[in-house]
Structure 1
Amino acid sequence: MIGLAFRELWGRRRRLTSSLVAVFLGVAFLTGTLALGDTLSRAIDRYYANSNGHTDVMIRNATQVSKSPGDLPGEIDGAVLARVKGVPGVADAQPVIQGSGQPLGRDGKVIPERGPRIAGNWIEDPRLNAYRITQGRAPRAPDEVVINKRAADHGKLRVGDRTVVLTPERVPVTVVGISMFGKDPAFGETAFTAFSLEGAQRYVAHGTGRLTGVALRAAPGVGQGELAARASRVLPAGTEAITGKALVAEGIGQVRDVFVKTFQTALGAFGAVALLVAAFSIHNTFTITLAQRTRESALLRAVGASRRQLAGLVGAEALVVGGLATAAGIAGGAGCAFLLKLVFSGFGMGLDAQGVVLTARTVLIAAPVGLVVTLLAVLGPAVRAVRIPPIAAMRESAAEPAGVSETRVIVGSVVAAVGIGAVVFGAVIGRGAWTGVGALMSLAAMVVLGPVVARPAATLIGMPAARFRGVSGRLARENAVRSPRRTAGAATALMIGVGVVTLLTVFAGSLRASLADGVAGSFRSGLVVNGGTNETGGFEPSLATQAASLPQIATAVGLGKGAARVDGHAATVGVADPALLGRVLSLDVTSGTLPSDPASAGSTPAAAGSGSAAAGGGAAVLAVGKKVADQRKWKVGTVVTVTFSDGSRVPMTVAAIYKRTDLSGEYLVPRTAWAAHNRRPLDTAVFATSKQGVSEADARAALTSLVRSYGAPEVQNRSEYVTAQTKQMNAFLGIVYVMLALAILIALLGIANTLALSVHERTRELGLLRAVGATRGQVRAMIRWESLIVSLFGTAGGAGFGLFLGWALVSALSDPFSVPVVPLVVILLVGAVAGVLAALRPARRAARLPALTAVASG
């Protein structure tokens, strides 16, 4: 039987090629996604392992208000440096200063890095410094800097160039060196500018004498834990000593929790979809080939082959196909991972890790998954094959039954009713778990009921072809209708691929529409100076004050962002004068009154747009979003504790509750209260309204001229700002389409294979058509129209399924449902065009069959 299995495979190698390709693509995609996740994880491990050089112990602020890896740490008293220098076992102690620092490029604009933009001091001990100078020298004077190579390349800066660093005030500097982070041009996508220690104390710490930390190197024979314990004994309250190993583990854990796990889960989901689609293509291929071998299987039974031997024959064929395709897929996984890296880079989400990491874990996951998926896909056809009675060898039998059993109809209807009910129930009550279970049941029902729906659907979809394309169109519709199982089997894989694409399109489109409506609703009118969403970017709050003094501007209010803990919960808070912000944004206050910043008292609204950066006291009040207030049962007058990065715990009273949080965030803290605990806050946006009678163009020109000295952030009107805020959704959709294109390609290979097998099965029928006068063109047209009917059935079914699940998912998350019409129309058109392309080879083969040879076959 083993020899027979290999002969069967070799004799039908061309028919099984597409199944092998489907498994290969699915496994390669799964391997590539796993390898890409491992590559990212390994790169992060390497980055953080080298992030502090060979630091043995870091002295830092004990208060950690944020788990986001991009946020700046709190500060400590500079006097700590002298204390720890005298600790036994300390070979060297280097001060560390870090803060916001944005170098301007040769064009006078902020270098557009997506990561943090950090300025600090150049650490003189090379063993404690993660950077090394590759060009030039270390900074010596306060106005000399070293810039990492990635930022220097993007800003077209070279050693000897004069530029400006925003810290956030303008600091004219000379670039005296270019640095590398180990072997990399940067720490991820961070732009790091290093001053001399004097320069960092003056421009980054702003003369406060405070430090971000102290890096310690242990003397020979002193362990990290022992040194940390010794240093802890001399540290003041609110300061801690953490070992280098713990610091690395903490950084890696933060990135993994925030990004890597989500990234790897999403990649795994895409790989699973591709394998699921491949499984349906394999299932359909083996279903048809085994049905076409009905007489052959019956003859084997008649000459004494047992059911177990027949099942072993089919299993051996599947194992060979799955094994070869899986091995090739694993080998091709590295190439797939490399291509995926290029895809992410093309959409602005580049991965700078060098090379591709293919671990044993990836192979141990991909290999059994590929084999199991293939064997499970063949299980149904194998069971039907072994049930063939020996008497079937003595009679003609159809390759597949034309009808659909009542059991299938009943079971499928029950599963569909329960699944749809669970989806709707989850959407109504906002429970995602119910929606997920219902979605899986609905998918199963779609597979079971596919043959039931295929006949009427093919009849309806094929009506235009039957009416307007003559005999070819009518025969194409009849071919699709008479084998509903085959039509449904070929279309199901495409349904799944299109369904997932539609689901994610609707989901992202709804989120984008919700965000656009929220931003548009919050930002009434006027102009905005957009500093981006990077919290280490932005510009000086004085920009709002200067903007408000322009003769073309009536009001200008700055808004910044920062990290804090509110009642123990990590949060991103908005920093502004809440009362003034309410004049330019529609916050929709539901209770209380937006508090005024004390620093703005006695000032005109226009001139007080930025508030004050003074470090004095401030009103112990804040405003909170309604969603958070409802969740935590806060009301106006509730006192909450806000923990700032300097370790201060300040009781603050809720003065107002507002609904629109799209721009301001869930918390609004007066600028004076924030400045009392944070060094030189930044604004990420300034919202401005023009004076009556001043055109938008004139106001925009005045603001554009003003912001040049602040790194030239973009000045946008309302519609441009809304578009900028939703730009990331477009990148997300682009990645989704590219990632799922492979699943749809596998589905189309399945359709092409089904048509090719159908042509082989209908050799005599095609010969008779040619004998009675059908031209080659008519035969080709018949196959193309049949493919179009099948692909439209799959595309329309998948789009409907995706729309339904998209509505449920969006409703479960309490977001407004929005249907992106244009992308859905494009999906339908692509499905139709792809169906025609899938039919090209089968149609050409059918048209080339010699009429007399075809009639004589059978």
Structure 2
Amino acid sequence: MTRVALKALWARKRRLAGSFVAVFLGVSFLTGTLVLGDTLNRSIGRFFAQAYAGTDVSVRNATSVSDGPGAIRGPVDASVADRVRGVPGVAAAEPVIQGIGQLLGRDGRPIEVLGPRTAGNWLTDPRLNPYHLVEGRAPYALDEVVVNRAVARQGRLRVGDVTAVLTPRRIPVRIVGLAKFGDQDGFGGTSFTAFTLEGARRYVAGSPDRVTSVSIRAAAGVPQAALAERVRRVLPPGTEAVTGRALGDEGMSAVAKGFLTMFRAFLLVFAGVALLVGSLSIHNTFSITVAQRVRESALLRALGASRRQVLGSVVVEALAVGLVASLAGVLGGLGFATLLGGVFAAMGAALPVGGLVLTPGTVAVAVPVGLLVTLLAGLVPAVHAARTPPLAALRETAAEPPGVPRARAVAGGALLAICVALVLASVVAGDSMPVAGAAALVGVVGMVVFGPVAARYAAALLGVPLRRLTGTLARRNAVRAPRRTAGAATALMVGVGVVTLVTVLAASSEASVRSTVARSFGGDLVISATGTSSTAGFSPRLADDVARLPQTSAAAGVGVGDLRIGGRPVQVRYADPAALGRVIDLGPAARIGPGRFAVAEDVAAKRGWHAGTPVNVRFADGTSRALTVGGIYPSGGPIGGYLIPRAEWTPHDRQPQDTTVLITLRGGTDLAAAKRAVTDAARPYGAPSVRDRAAYLDAQASGVRQLLTLVYVLLALAIVIALLGIANTLSLSVHERTRELGLLRAVGMTRAQLRSMVRWESLIMAVFGTAGGLGLGLLLGWAVGRAASDGAFAAPVAQLAIIAVVGALAGVVAAVRPARRAARLDVLAAIATA
């Protein structure tokens, strides 16, 4: 039977081409996701290995206030370097200064990079320094710097150019050298500006007796662990000695737990959607091919084949298609990983990808998943084939039963009713994402089960406007085979449903952001740092300069930093509460004084705090203080969940800077004139962006729109697979109806009419799938949006209309090849077909 199955498969290879493509694309997406994750893991690991390749031990502050990779710790006493130089086994020890340093490009604006914008000192020991010069020389004077070549190229800077570095005060510098990080032009997406040690002490550390860390090189034959233990004995309290190997592992672990985990999960969701849509297309293809081979299966049974053998023959076909497509999908995944990297780069989020990494683990996951998806999709048709009675070979049988089992209709209706009940329960419960997620799962299953019932009535209804002969025939074809219509449309329905869900969630999230920011911020202008990095900012003096402008009524600068509050690492905003209270609604929090801080309502509720609650706060320099919750302000808005008074923050930060200045203008001031005045005042500070209130609200929601664009690109694959499923269904339908089509041509139907009939049938399938997907997506978007976006719900009519039109037109595109094939049938040969 295995030989029979394989020969049958080879004889009908064109019929199963659609299944092959569906499996291939789904496995390619999955493989590409895994390959890209492994490649990033290797690339980032190599970066960290290069960063600490020559460092055997590092002495640093023992306090960590951030779990993020590359977080700069508080300083240590500079005398530590002299202490460790005398430790036996130390061959060299150099103080390291690292801090904020934004290099200005040729246009006078900070060069935008994805990672931190840092500055420090150029290490003179080439083995301790992960950078090496490729052009120019090392810095000698206080105003001379070396920069990494990637940032110099991006800022259109060359050796000999004069520019400035914001630390955050503006420092004029001359570029005397360009450096590479190992074999790369920079460390990931970071920028690095290196002064002399004295220059870094003056401009970055702000003190001659404080450094960020001390890098130590061991003498020949001294193990890292042994040297670290010796160094620990001479260190003052509050410092620690860490081996270079541990530093690399620590950085890699932080990236893996944060960015890489989220990145992989994000892409795997879309790989799962693609595989789900592909499995529906595969199931529909096998259902049709098995139904068309009813007499063949019956003949096998009549010749003595058992049900198990017939079942096995179909399973062998599914496994053969799944195996070949999965293996091809593994190779296709390499190209898909390159494509994904290009998509991120085109959106301004280039990933540090080198040569692609295909591990045995990726193959061990992708191939079995492809096989399993194909097997499960073909299992039900296989069981149906095994149940074919031998007498079916002696009579004419329909390729597919015209009706829908009553049990399926009842089960599908029940599942959809449960989905609606779960949606209502999640809305009533409020913040209930698990219930909303369960509703989504039940809804998708319900649509798949109930699809044939809905397809019969939907096809009849959608075909009402089609009055011509070709439209009437197309409607009847769709109605008489509701399972086939539903099977082809369900894959598109799932794809459109996910697109609609994401669109609604994005619009709801954007509406929520706009609403919360608009409620709390009633100002007129906002100055914002360029870029999203936490090291992007400007001097706090800018807020003072703006406050002195005659057009300004109030101006408040806001900075961002990391602390441990109540033992947890959190990101906080620091500002002058009184000044900030004049531009946004802080309520009682605007009056907090020394020894107090404020939190948002949602944070207070989550952590059980109220006004007067004492909380331990630990700063990056290792200092701990007991601060009291002095006020609670409305959630949302531009200051996040925690607000620390600037007077409490500044003593513990050697480089305080603001990322935002919120401005309220005097009554009657011309907005355009005021914006020009503020822009002029901001120019010496690196020309940060100046926006009016409307533009600021748009900027707050821009991240959601960027993510939505990326999601659309990733979901496009699922839509393509769904359209291939429709095209494959139509092709198989044309093959099944060869004699019928020949008779239509014989009684006078033209080739153009035949093409039109197939296109109308495809359009009915596409409209049914698109409409079902829109309905399901809107329902689930309402539930998930209310659970995830503070009760906000927004349905963007224009975008949803575009989705509907594109879904319908895509059905016409999917019918091009099947319609052409139908029109090319030889009339006499078609009539003679058995």
**TM-score category, normalised to shorter length:** over 0.9
Q: Secondary structure at the match of 1:622?
A: strand
Distance 2:615 2:331 in 1: 57
Q: Does 1:387 align with 2:376?
A: no
Q: Secondary structure at the match of 1:694?
A: coil
Distance 2:19 2:89 in 1: 66
Q: Tell me which residue corresponds to 1:363.
A: 363
Instruction: Compute the displacement of 1:421 (Å).
Output: 2.8
Would you say the 8 A contact 1:541–1:558 is kept in 2? yes
Q: Tell me which residue corresponds to 1:613.
A: none
Instruction: Compute the displacement of 1:857 (Å).
Output: 2.1
Would you say the 8 A contact 1:76–1:239 is kept in 2? yes
Q: Tell me which residue corresponds to 1:487.
A: 485
Distance 1:692 1:496 in 2: 53
Q: Tell me which residue corresponds to 1:326.
A: 326
Distance 2:377 2:404 in 1: 20
Instruction: Compute the displacement of 1:200 (Å).
Output: 0.1
Q: Tell me which residue corresponds to 1:500.
A: 498
Would you say the 8 A contact 2:439–2:780 is kept in 1? no
Q: Tell me which residue corresponds to 1:767.
A: 742
1:497-533 C-alpha deviation (Å, 9 max, x unpaired) = 1112222222222112211222233321311111144
Q: How many residues are treated as equivalent by the alignment?
A: 831
Kindly tell me: are residues 691 and 811 of structure 1, through their superposed partners in 2, closer, same or farther at Cα, counting changes over 3 Å? Answer: closer
Instruction: Compute the displacement of 1:176 (Å).
Output: 0.6
Q: Secondary structure at the match of 1:13?
A: coil
**Matched ranges for 1:70-219 at <5 A:** 70-219=70-219
Q: Tell me which residue corresponds to 2:585.
A: 586
Would you say the 8 A contact 2:518–2:637 is kept in 1? no
Q: Secondary structure at the match of 1:153?
A: helix
Instruction: Compute the displacement of 1:268 (Å).
Output: 1.3
Q: Tell me which residue corresponds to 2:535.
A: 536
Name the stretch that deviates more: 759-768 or 560-569: 759-768
Instruction: Compute the displacement of 1:167 (Å).
Output: 0.8
Unaligned residue ranges in structure 2 (runs of 5+): none
Distance 2:32 2:76 in 1: 45
Q: Secondary structure at the match of 2:591?
A: coil
Out of 706, 709, 723, the residue aligned to residue 731 of structure 1 is 706
Distance 1:242 1:427 in 2: 51
Name the stretch that deviates more: 386-395 or 757-766: 757-766
**Matched ranges for 1:240-389 at <5 A:** 240-389=240-389
Q: Tell me which residue corresponds to 1:39.
A: 39
Name the stretch that deviates more: 747-756 or 452-461: 452-461
Q: Does 1:656 align with 2:656?
A: no
Would you say the 8 A contact 1:779–1:843 is kept in 2? yes
Would you say the 8 A contact 1:37–1:267 is kept in 2? no
Unaligned residue ranges in structure 1 (runs of 5+): 598-618
Kindly tell me: are residues 70 and 792 of structure 1, through their superposed partners in 2, closer, same or farther at Cα, counting changes over 3 Å? Answer: farther
Q: Does 1:830 align with 2:830?
A: no
Q: Tell me which residue corresponds to 1:645.
A: 620
Q: Tell me which residue corresponds to 2:756.
A: 781
Instruction: Compute the displacement of 1:62 (Å).
Output: 0.8
Would you say the 8 A contact 2:577–2:589 is kept in 1? no
Letter in 1 for 2:451: G
Q: Tell me which residue corresponds to 2:591.
A: 595
Letter in 1 for 2:258: V
Out of 840, 844, 854, the residue aligned to residue 816 of structure 2 is 840
Q: Tell me which residue corresponds to 1:451.
A: 452
Q: Secondary structure at the match of 1:584?
A: coil
Would you say the 8 A contact 2:504–2:781 is kept in 1? yes
Would you say the 8 A contact 1:428–1:812 is kept in 2? no
Instruction: Compute the displacement of 1:753 (Å).
Output: 0.7
Distance 1:423 1:88 in 2: 69
Letter in 2 for 1:444: V
Q: Secondary structure at the match of 1:558?
A: strand
Name the stretch that deviates more: 505-514 or 473-482: 505-514
Instruction: Compute the displacement of 1:593 (Å).
Output: 4.5
Q: Does 1:744 align with 2:719?
A: yes
Kindly tell me: are residues 422 and 234 of structure 1, through their superposed partners in 2, closer, same or farther at Cα, counting changes over 3 Å? Answer: same
Would you say the 8 A contact 2:279–2:373 is kept in 1? yes
Q: Does 1:687 align with 2:685?
A: no
Name the stretch that deviates more: 442-451 or 810-819: 810-819
Instruction: Compute the displacement of 1:427 (Å).
Output: 4.3
**Matched ranges for 1:556-635 at <5 A:** 556-587=555-586, 589=587, 592-595=588-591, 619-635=594-610
1:7-33 C-alpha deviation (Å, 9 max, x unpaired) = 312221211111111111111111111
Distance 2:707 2:572 in 1: 26
Letter in 2 for 1:292: Q
Q: Secondary structure at the match of 2:354?
A: coil
Instruction: Compute the displacement of 1:635 (Å).
Output: 1.6
Would you say the 8 A contact 2:77–2:210 is kept in 1? yes
Distance 1:436 1:694 in 2: 50
Q: Does 1:477 align with 2:478?
A: no
TM-score, normalised to structure 1, is 0.95
Distance 2:694 2:184 in 1: 39
Q: Tell me which residue corresponds to 1:820.
A: 796
Instruction: Compute the displacement of 1:554 (Å).
Output: 2.5
1:126-184 C-alpha deviation (Å, 9 max, x unpaired) = 11111111111111111110111111011101111111111111111110111111111
Letter in 2 for 1:830: V
Kindly tell me: are residues 551 and 53 of structure 1, through their superposed partners in 2, closer, same or farther at Cα, counting changes over 3 Å? Answer: farther
Letter in 1 for 2:629: V
Instruction: Compute the displacement of 1:54 (Å).
Output: 1.8
TM-score, normalised to structure 2, is 0.97
Letter in 2 for 1:573: V
Letter in 2 for 1:831: G
Distance 1:213 1:401 in 2: 76
Out of 681, 706, 712, the residue aligned to residue 681 of structure 2 is 706
Name the stretch that deviates more: 743-752 or 503-512: 503-512
Distance 1:515 1:211 in 2: 40
Name the stretch that deviates more: 230-239 or 765-774: 765-774
Q: Tell me which residue corresponds to 1:851.
A: 827
Distance 1:642 1:525 in 2: 31
Q: Tell me which residue corresponds to 1:513.
A: 511
Letter in 1 for 2:577: P
Distance 2:40 2:221 in 1: 35
Instruction: Compute the displacement of 1:827 (Å).
Output: 1.2
Letter in 1 for 2:475: R
Would you say the 8 A contact 2:771–2:804 is kept in 1? yes
Kindly tell me: are residues 188 and 428 of structure 1, through their superposed partners in 2, closer, same or farther at Cα, counting changes over 3 Å? Answer: farther
Letter in 2 for 1:516: R
Would you say the 8 A contact 1:307–1:386 is kept in 2? yes
Letter in 2 for 1:534: S
Letter in 2 for 1:98: Q
Distance 1:518 1:534 in 2: 23
Distance 2:73 2:804 in 1: 50
Distance 1:812 1:460 in 2: 35
Distance 2:580 2:363 in 1: 55
Q: Secondary structure at the match of 1:132?
A: strand
1:506-565 C-alpha deviation (Å, 9 max, x unpaired) = 222211221122223332131111114422111000011111122232222111111111
Q: Secondary structure at the match of 1:726?
A: helix
1:426-445 C-alpha deviation (Å, 9 max, x unpaired) = 44333323332332222222
Letter in 1 for 2:357: V
Instruction: Compute the displacement of 1:38 (Å).
Output: 1.0
Q: Secondary structure at the match of 1:253?
A: helix
Out of 524, 542, 565, the residue aligned to residue 522 of structure 2 is 524
Instruction: Compute the displacement of 1:70 (Å).
Output: 4.8
Percentage of matched positions with identical amino acids: 55
Q: Secondary structure at the match of 2:206?
A: coil
1:550-583 C-alpha deviation (Å, 9 max, x unpaired) = 2232222111111111111211111111121111
Distance 2:541 2:181 in 1: 34
Letter in 1 for 2:348: G
